[in-house]
A and B are shown apart, each in its own frame.
Chain A
Amino acid sequence: MRWVRIIAIAFLVVVSMSCLLANFVAPAPYAYQFRELPDASPSRQHLLGTDSLGRDRFSRLLYGTRVSLLLAPAAALFASILAALIGGSAGFVGGWLERCVMAATDLFLSLPWLFLLITVRALLPLNIAPFTSVLVTFALLGSLGWAAAARVICADARSFSRSDFILLARASGSGGFRLLWRHVVPNFKPVLFAQFWIAVPVFILAEANLGVLGLGVAEPLPSWGSLLRELESFSSMSGQPWQFFPLILLIAVISCIHLALRKQEPSL
């Protein structure tokens, strides 16, 4: 299966490079409306046709992929750090702190995410630029997505705190920050890494879900969520198979992330 993994990684590299170089690769600005050509079929000028407002779909896909592929890992990193801080300290300290943190985690996990995101999004200031709105959306995803990872990390931290090597370190006079930095954090890395890679596709899909509800990234900035909105009406899109391209790309990228991740698991 090594070659499958290599293909997956190569695909992710090609996609990442294309969207990072979108300014050079994209044939048109992502927001420009070719109003004489709404809903155009693919052509040499517009490789994936145009959307309902005449915007070049290929350019929007490149920029949208950049938004989703850059910010979803950023949000996943933020969520993983929060999870490490909250779950790690709770598991390591134990006692009442662990009970309180786990109660809060359970509460977070039981909250209806989507409705919570919709509510928080509605409470935000209105006058924010599209790029700020995308940052806010992913920051929200990151700040609300730590709970599941925190539970896993807390359990790990609890077992570390009772392990022989920590006992030995304590007996050797190691304590406080040194104990945490030299002995605990290096042992958290594999778990954190796994939680991070699990969160990336989850956040990509969460943003896509918000986008389908019209509550994701603000216009005219594209994201996978806003691009997938074109598919919400089956009857209006049938006969235009190129509209499925963002969906195919999303499935391919998430599948490739999982394929790339699978190889790493045994080494953890």
Chain B
Amino acid sequence: MRQRLIRFGFLLITFLAAGAMHAQSGSQLRFCLHSEPKTLNPVLMADESSETVRYLTGGVLMRLNRLTQTLEPELATSWKESAGGKTITFKLRAGLHFSDGTVFSAEDVAYTIQQLMDPALHSPTGDSFRSAEGKVITRVEGRDRVTVTFPAPVVGLDKLFDQVAIMSATSPQKELAVLGPYYVAENKAGSYLLLKRNPNYWKHDASGAQLPNIDSIRLDIQQNRDIEMVRLARGEISFINSLDPEYFDKLATQAPGTVHDAGVSLDSEQLWFNQVPTSPLPAYKKAWFTSTNFRRAISNAINRDDLARVVFRGHAQPAVSWVSPANKVWFNAKLQPHPYDQKAALRFLANDGFRMQNGVLHDRDGHIVEFSVITNAGNKYRERMATMIQQDLAGIGIRLNVVTLDFPSLIERITRTFDYEASLLGLVNNDLDPNSQMNVWLSSAENHQWNPSEKTPATAWEAEIDNLMRAQAATLDPKKRKKAVDRVQEIVWEQEPFIYLVNKNALSAVSKSLHNAHPVVLHPQVYWNVDQLSLGSEVAQSR
């Protein structure tokens, strides 16, 4: 009897210990989406909320490690590019199952690629793979090998698969059967999404316990950032991604230790002048805006350090060029931000015949130098930057009028009527590969904002950028690509078609009860390692 009791006690202790080590039964991670996901179909996702759901539920062939910025194998144990970047062959992990129990095979990869490239579906993710007209051929070789051949080389092909969630070709649940750590269990439109732990998720931790650690994730749809802050303070949610600098500082004083500044991000804020030849601007203003000396002068007259320190409360860095220093591979480290130097600015202006009269700058024909900058109403950071630039430019005798417009009116002016002089906007960038910005830098591109859709390059330097961007897109040699992209950064730094102002920092707030969170600069910042996150007491976190 005594032996039986001892044996029972031993079993009980073992069971409790195993339970504590394993997934925390009933644990739920909560955070907010700022809008409702537009779709749950992974090939059709384009909005941020949908992409969040895809990241949490989708199984991918390889995943970009957000911390090291390198690719790591996931559903594919290995891959090989061939035929100059046209073909990629995957060797798949064996014995995996979708969340509904359907067996995973090479057929599913072929089916996903077929869906992705189906012209009728207009998949935004698929667009990244479209390098040329033609059919994409997938060849299945057994259960664990598949080869995909594109009509033309695709630059950065392997990294693009980070966004491709594999769907089941045979599951009755269709796209709701997933290979990622969670599956969508409940979707209350406009209110919340409930994701539950995928019982067939293939990953295990070092001790052999199945991941993910947390049982479920509740995504509350909440647009209001103030309410999101209050909910974090109450412990109702576990983290806030992409935190505002003001909120960041507020939380830093209220709850020190919960906020994380991961450093400079890929996002930039920039100012540009309208250089469209057909714009309704007077000829003398077109002459100012197309002059490199004028743009360089404006750039030198802006105090970027003050913008970063005052507007973004120190949570930003003066920007250098179009590649952020956060992009470890592609940033041209030889370049430095343009310094704040009003004397240099006046020298650049003097080269073009500008002169100062009674504290007011005039051009060589006697016109007073005055122009307007438009930005979107309601974005207080941009409005503040514009106001600071207004004072900076007043220092070299330039009168700047700040105009805030509702977003549709602003887009109308910068893309259709071209009835504006300068614009201050930002770029949110989630892609490390410079190829993703071809639609900005090619002179024929629609997003070539200072002079869109040029039939032929308007300037020699734009022609050089065209050649370099095409050259980097046509080769798979990383050194040649880096050299070309470095040179484009230099040209942009010299010519300043975009006057880059600041790169914002990646700010987030994480509850002390969320363990293993290591916020990074790349999206999705806090939950990039969602399968390794765990919930516990605040004391445990403060270790």
Which B residues, 370 to 385, have Cβ-Cβ distances below 8 Å to chain A? 370-372, 374, 377-380, 383-384
Do A127 and B371 contact each other (CB < 8 Å), given the known contacts A214-B378, A235-B226? yes
Residues of A near B419 (CB, < 8 A) are 126
Please determine whether A234 and B370 come into contact, CB atoms closer than 8 angstroms.
no
Residues of B near A234 (CB, < 8 A) are 226
Residues of B near A215 (CB, < 8 A) are 377, 404-406
Please determine whether A122 and B250 come into contact, CB atoms closer than 8 angstroms.
no
Which B residues, 218 to 242, have Cβ-Cβ distances below 8 Å to chain A? 225-226, 229-230
Do A126 and B403 contact each other (CB < 8 Å), given the known contacts A233-B226, A235-B250, A236-B246? yes
- Distance in Å from the Cβ of B113 to the closest Cβ of chain A? 45
Please determine whether B401 and A122 come into contact, CB atoms closer than 8 angstroms.
no
- Write out, one digit per residue, whether chain A residues 34-77 have a CB within 8 A of any chain B CB (1) or not (0): 01001000000000000011100000000000000000000000
Does B195 count as interface, using CB distance less than 8 angstroms? no
Does B247 count as interface, using CB distance less than 8 angstroms? yes
The secondary structure that dominates the A interface is loop
Does B402 count as interface, using CB distance less than 8 angstroms? yes
Does A130 count as interface, using CB distance less than 8 angstroms? yes
* C-alpha spacing A165/B83, complex, angstroms: 100
Does B310 count as interface, using CB distance less than 8 angstroms? yes
Interface size class of B (residues with CB under 8 A): 35 or more
Does A229 count as interface, using CB distance less than 8 angstroms? yes
Does A129 count as interface, using CB distance less than 8 angstroms? yes
- Write out, one digit per residue, whether chain B residues 305-331 have a CB within 8 A of any chain A CB (1) or not (0): 010011100000000000000000000
Please determine whether B390 and A214 come into contact, CB atoms closer than 8 angstroms.
no
Residues of A near B406 (CB, < 8 A) are 118, 122, 213, 215
Residues of A near B380 (CB, < 8 A) are 52, 214, 229, 232
- Closest residue to B309 on the A side, CB-wise? A35
* C-alpha spacing A215/B229, complex, angstroms: 27
Does B391 count as interface, using CB distance less than 8 angstroms? yes
Which A residues, 83 to 114, have Cβ-Cβ distances below 8 Å to chain B? none
Please determine whether A235 and B229 come into contact, CB atoms closer than 8 angstroms.
yes
Does B301 count as interface, using CB distance less than 8 angstroms? no
Please determine whether B377 and A213 come into contact, CB atoms closer than 8 angstroms.
yes
- Write out, one digit per residue, whether chain A residues 16-35 have a CB within 8 A of any chain B CB (1) or not (0): 00000000000000011101
Do A220 and B387 contact each other (CB < 8 Å), given the known contacts A127-B401, A214-B377? yes
- Distance in Å from the Cβ of B378 to the closest Cβ of chain A? 5
Please determine whether A219 and B383 come into contact, CB atoms closer than 8 angstroms.
yes
* C-alpha spacing A219/B384, complex, angstroms: 9
- Write out, one digit per residue, whether chain B residues 381-424 have a CB within 8 A of any chain A CB (1) or not (0): 00110111011000000010111111001000000000111000
- Closest residue to B306 on the A side, CB-wise? A35
- Distance in Å from the Cβ of A231 to the closest Cβ of chain B? 12
Does A128 count as interface, using CB distance less than 8 angstroms? yes
* C-alpha spacing A233/B371, complex, angstroms: 31
* C-alpha spacing A184/B284, complex, angstroms: 55
Residues of A near B374 (CB, < 8 A) are 126
Does A194 count as interface, using CB distance less than 8 angstroms? no
- Closest residue to B402 on the A side, CB-wise? A219
Which B residues, 431 to 460, have Cβ-Cβ distances below 8 Å to chain A? none
Please determine whether B230 and A235 come into contact, CB atoms closer than 8 angstroms.
yes
Residues of B near A236 (CB, < 8 A) are 246-247, 250
Residues of A near B388 (CB, < 8 A) are 33, 35, 53
Which B residues, 231 to 277, have Cβ-Cβ distances below 8 Å to chain A? 246-247, 250
Residues of A near B420 (CB, < 8 A) are 126
Please determine whether A53 and B401 come into contact, CB atoms closer than 8 angstroms.
no
Residues of A near B378 (CB, < 8 A) are 213-214
Do A38 and B310 contact each other (CB < 8 Å), given the known contacts A126-B420, A220-B387? yes
Which A residues, 117 to 135, have Cβ-Cβ distances below 8 Å to chain B? 118-119, 121-122, 126-130, 133
- Write out, one digit per residue, whether chain B residues 346-387 have a CB within 8 A of any chain A CB (1) or not (0): 000000000000000000000000111010011110011011
* C-alpha spacing A235/B419, complex, angstroms: 38
Please determine whether A54 and B310 come into contact, CB atoms closer than 8 angstroms.
yes
* C-alpha spacing A53/B381, complex, angstroms: 11
Residues of B near A214 (CB, < 8 A) are 377-380, 383, 404
* C-alpha spacing A38/B388, complex, angstroms: 12
* C-alpha spacing A46/B395, complex, angstroms: 24
Does A218 count as interface, using CB distance less than 8 angstroms? yes
Please determine whether B390 and A219 come into contact, CB atoms closer than 8 angstroms.
yes
Residues of B near A238 (CB, < 8 A) are 250
- Distance in Å from the Cβ of B282 to the closest Cβ of chain A? 10
Residues of B near A119 (CB, < 8 A) are 409
Please determine whether B230 and A218 come into contact, CB atoms closer than 8 angstroms.
no
Please determine whether B246 and A233 come into contact, CB atoms closer than 8 angstroms.
yes
Q: Which single member of B310, B399, B409 contacts A53 (CB below 8 Å)?
A: B310
Q: Which single member of B306, B377, B390, B421 contacts A126 (CB below 8 Å)?
A: B421
Please determine whether B310 and A52 come into contact, CB atoms closer than 8 angstroms.
yes
Q: Which single member of B247, B402, B403, B404 contacts A235 (CB below 8 Å)?
A: B247
Please determine whether B384 and A52 come into contact, CB atoms closer than 8 angstroms.
yes
- Closest residue to B381 on the A side, CB-wise? A52
* C-alpha spacing A214/B378, complex, angstroms: 6
Do A53 and B387 contact each other (CB < 8 Å), given the known contacts A126-B403, A126-B420, A234-B226? yes
- Distance in Å from the Cβ of A130 to the closest Cβ of chain B? 7
- Distance in Å from the Cβ of A55 to the closest Cβ of chain B? 9
A interface residue numbers (CB < 8 A to B): 31-33, 35, 38, 52-54, 118-119, 121-122, 126-130, 133, 213-215, 218-220, 229, 232-236, 238-239
Sample (6) of A-B pairs whose CB atoms are under 8 Å apart: A53-B310, A118-B406, A126-B372, A215-B405, A219-B387, A220-B391
B interface residue numbers (CB < 8 A to A): 225-226, 229-230, 246-247, 250, 306, 309-311, 370-372, 374, 377-380, 383-384, 386-388, 390-391, 399, 401-406, 409, 419-421
Q: A213-B406, A220-B391, A235-B230 are in contact. List 11 more A-B contacts (CB 8 A).
A: A33-B310, A35-B306, A52-B311, A53-B310, A53-B387, A53-B388, A129-B399, A213-B378, A218-B404, A232-B380, A233-B246
Question: Lowest 3 CB-CB distances: which A-B pairs, in order?
Answer: A214-B377, A122-B409, A126-B372
